[in-house]
Amino acid sequence: MARGLPYDEARAAALRKFGNTTVIREEIYRMNTIAFLETLVGDLRYGLRILARSPMFTVAAVLTLAIGMGANVAVFSVLDSVLIRPLPYPNAEELVALHQDAPGAAGLANAADGLALSPSMYYTYAEHNQTFQALGVWTSGTANVTGLVEPEQVRTVSVSDGVLEALGVPAVAGRWLLAADQIPEAPDPLSLGFSGRSSTVMLSYGYWQRHFGGDRSVIGRNLMVDSRPRQIVGVMPKGFPGRQGGTRSDSASGI
């Protein structure tokens, strides 16, 4: 119109130069997020209609997806807890697991476990240790607890002096297990003289709550474990990894 063309002729010339407006409008619409969502909804509706026509195939497909996703979640959970997530202890990067080998010791060692650790070996390592701040060993097992409401078999972890110190895990009630607790027949009142066994025990948080209602006065009381009295000296914190629902003591034998 600025060049002197009438309105109708100017509009027709502009449209010819601009191109196909419908195609351009559709292109802009496809670039819009709303169009993507509409396409997604349409694809979902189409997929649901196809699945509704073949119920057996649908069930098989859903079960396959469920098993696959469940397996992936399980594998990721294991990898996350073992390889990715740090250990729930203070300064976990400083913890070291020791493994001893005995090349040529046929009959004493195996490929899976190496050389078994004897008490004398442990005491030798502990006495000559100049590398680690704390050194300890542990083993899991079961024990029978009597004298409460009814007899109960519980899962246990036997730990030596140094394990809790190395992990940096404080007791939520009472105290840690001490070196004196693992000496059999020691004059210390915490050791009642059972040969090869400690007379002290720590409770897991769950066991403490279930059987004693979280009562802190339980510290100092005796608990019959495998028909032997054990003095309760402490309670492990809530969520402490390991065997839950049982008791813990510091002897290489017993609980």
Consecutive H or E run containing 233? strand 228-235
Residue 111 pLDDT: 47
Helix axis angle, 21-31 relative to 7-18, nearest 10°? 50
Domain positions in the chain:
7-84, 135-249
Query: Can you give the pLDDT at residue 197?
Result: 52
The size of the chain, in residues, is 255
- Ordered per-residue pLDDT tens for the chain, 255 residues: 888 889 988 988 888 888 888 888 877 777 766 667 778 888 999 988 888 888 888 888 889 999 999 999 999 888 877 777 777 777 777 888 877 776 666 555 444 555 677 778 888 888 888 888 888 888 888 888 887 777 888 888 888 777 887 888 888 888 887 777 776 544 433 332 223 456 888 888 888 888 888 888 889 888 888 888 888 888 888 877 543 334 444 332 223
Q: pTM (2 decimals)?
A: 0.54
